[in-house]
Amino acid sequence: MKRIAVAGTGYVGLVAGVCFAEVGHDVTCVDVDEAKVKLMESGVSPIYEEGLEELMKKNNATGRLRYTTDYKEAYRQADAIFIGVGTPEQPDGSANLSYIATVCRQIAESVEKDCLVVVKSTVPIGTNDKVEQFIHDFLLRDVKVEVASNPEFLAQGTAVRDTLHAARIIIGTESKEAEALLQEIYKPFNLPIVSVKRRSAEMIKYACNDFLALKISYMNDIANLCELVGADIEDVARGMSYDERIGSRFLNAGIGFGGSCFPKDTKALKYLANQHGYKLKTVEACVEVNTKQKTRLFEKAKKRMISFDGLKVAVLGLTFKAGTDDLREAPSIDNIQLLLEKGADIYAFDPVGVKRAKQHFPEGSIEKGRITYVKTTREALQDAAICFIFTEWGEIKVLKPEDYKKLMRIPLVYDGRNLYDLREMKEAGIEYYSIGR
């Protein structure tokens, strides 16, 4: 058992801290927000993530998991300090490392014994070298501090499972001592560990995320061509999935990727390559395809309608995918903005994303249009002239074709998740548009 401190209690930090406690380590999670700390102490998770609250309550009760704003006490005697703070995208596509810099300064001024600082946050290649130097520059005591890279590979909505049952653990170190300590920390997980140098670990994170993003954008590009030539992207994807070299995952066409990782990481790697005088043409194409894909359904609807002004528009799903309350880079945001500019009267449904959506679009009149948040899909659909589906929530998937026909004033549906069978929608009298079919 090791004494571990975790800086940051977002998706990366909180999930890591809870899972470290679950396998037996003594964990203190650090956050600057006192109200958030009190919330977590009561066993309530500040993020929507399946299975997280149950593990928080369990490990809170054992005393293995604590939360604090007192970083000095948390870092003082820690064997390892994991950094899981955000690295948000800046306007030029680069990563904002100011939160990491703040934590590093706090660590340098607080540690009283030799320790390992482990960066879990996604950072540009070479950042860990700078982190180590930065900490050494500000150390107040004669202690040994090494820095390691340990990128996370969790997906929002399945983060706990992805951590406890990961395909592999990536650790990047520059010494045998640092490698041995991380091996010991992760031994209770009983998972494969890939040990590499720090810069390779940093690159593995970007290479993995950007490859998956490329796969999604490629399928969306093929889907758009399918529409033009009369092919069905679902048939194409099924045929492709039997090829072991391709696999079956990330072949679903739709309205583009969102969330906290893929959009940010593709832009960050593109920026990094440009800084070194190199063009990652595949990644640049991925970013371009995804940007256009997000509003593809709106552009289709705009050609179909004379005007959106005053029309009741049902929006089903706000989060970037099901299983999370995260709206970062969600296609719904881009489309709602365009609909409001055109004067639409939007009725939006999402089972968990409304609170965050209101931060983008407060309820009521905005610009020319207005938005109302409703508690059921049927409220959204009642007398609607048009419906957009942006998220594959179960509450939306259970709707039958006849529900749209019965509830809507005009049964006109634009489905960004390809939830329905084309023939069934046609037989039900629905004018139905999807992606690549």
Domain end, chosen from 143, 175, 196, is at 196
Angstrom distance (rounded) from CA 218 to CA 436: 12
Under DSSP, the state recorded for 91 is T
Nearest to 50 by CA among 152, 209, 153, 162: 162
Helix (H, G, I), strand (E, B) or coil at 206: helix
Nearest to 412 by CA among 383, 371, 437: 383
As to burial, measured by CB atoms within 10 angstroms (0-12 exposed, 13-18 middle, 19+ buried), residue 274 is middle
Q: Are 111 and 75 in contact (CB under 8 A)?
A: yes
Angstrom distance (rounded) from CA 290 to CA 258: 9
The whole-number pLDDT of residue 332 equals 97
Same domain (yes/no): 126, 99: yes
CB-side neighbour CA atoms (13 Å) of 323: 12
Angstrom distance (rounded) from CA 186 to CA 169: 8
The whole-number pLDDT of residue 89 equals 87
Same domain (yes/no): 311, 251: no
Q: Are strands 80-83 and 412-415 parallel, antiparallel or unpaired?
A: unpaired
Angstrom distance (rounded) from CA 258 to CA 417: 13
Under DSSP, the state recorded for 90 is P
Same domain (yes/no): 252, 280: yes
Q: Could you tell me the sign of the dihedral formed by the alpha carbons of 342, 343, 345, 349, in that order?
A: positive
- Only one residue has tokens 């948000």, namely 88
Same domain (yes/no): 274, 225: yes
With a CB cutoff of 8 Å and minimum separation 6, the contacts of 421 are: none
Beta strands in 204-329, from DSSP E residues, in sequence order: 312-316
Same domain (yes/no): 100, 37: yes
CB-side neighbour CA atoms (13 Å) of 376: 7
Same domain (yes/no): 381, 239: no
Structure tokens at 155: 């997906």
The whole-number pLDDT of residue 207 equals 96
Angstrom distance (rounded) from CA 408 to CA 314: 9
The whole-number pLDDT of residue 364 equals 87
SS (H, E, C) 375-432: CCHHHHHCCCCEEEECCCCHHHHCCCHHHHHHHCCCCEEEECCCCCCHHHHHHCCCEE
pLDDT tens-place values along the chain, 437 residues long: 999 999 999 989 999 999 999 999 999 999 999 999 999 999 999 999 999 999 999 999 999 999 999 999 999 999 999 999 999 888 888 889 999 999 999 999 999 999 999 999 999 999 999 999 999 999 999 999 999 999 999 888 899 999 999 999 999 999 999 999 999 999 999 999 999 999 999 999 999 999 999 999 999 999 999 999 999 999 999 999 999 999 999 999 999 999 888 999 999 999 999 999 999 999 999 999 999 999 999 999 999 999 999 999 999 999 999 999 999 999 999 999 999 999 999 999 999 999 999 999 999 888 789 999 999 999 999 999 999 999 999 999 999 999 999 999 999 999 999 999 999 999 999 999 999 99
Angstrom distance (rounded) from CA 386 to CA 33: 42
**Quick one: angle between helices 198-229 and 281-293, nearest 10?**
50
Same domain (yes/no): 314, 244: no
Q: Are 309 and 342 in contact (CB under 8 A)?
A: yes
Same domain (yes/no): 156, 178: yes
Same domain (yes/no): 175, 311: no
Q: Which domain holds residue 232?
A: 205-292
Domain end, chosen from 163, 196, 229, is at 196
> Residue 31 to residues 15, 35, 327: CA-CA distances in angstroms?
14, 10, 22
Same domain (yes/no): 288, 299: no
Instruction: Clarify whether 29 is annotated catalytic.
Output: no
* Active-site residue (options: 19, 104, 261, 286): 261
CATH number, position 215: 1.10.1040.10
Q: Are 220 and 293 in contact (CB under 8 A)?
A: yes
Identify residue 356 by its one-letter amino acid code.
R
The whole-number pLDDT of residue 366 equals 80
With a CB cutoff of 8 Å and minimum separation 6, the contacts of 147 are: 116, 117, 118, 119, 128, 129, 131, 132, 135, 198
Domains contained in the chain, number: 3
Q: Are strands 364-366 and 369-374 parallel, antiparallel or unpaired?
A: antiparallel
Domain end, chosen from 292, 307, 339, is at 292
Identify any residues that bridge with 365 across adjacent strands, giving them in sequence order.
370
Number of Cβ within 10 Å of residue 124's Cβ equals 19
Helix (H, G, I), strand (E, B) or coil at 228: helix
Same domain (yes/no): 252, 308: no
CATH number, position 325: 3.40.50.720
Under DSSP, the state recorded for 124 is -
Structure tokens at 260: 């906290």
Same domain (yes/no): 309, 286: no
Nearest to 223 by CA among 265, 261, 256, 200: 256
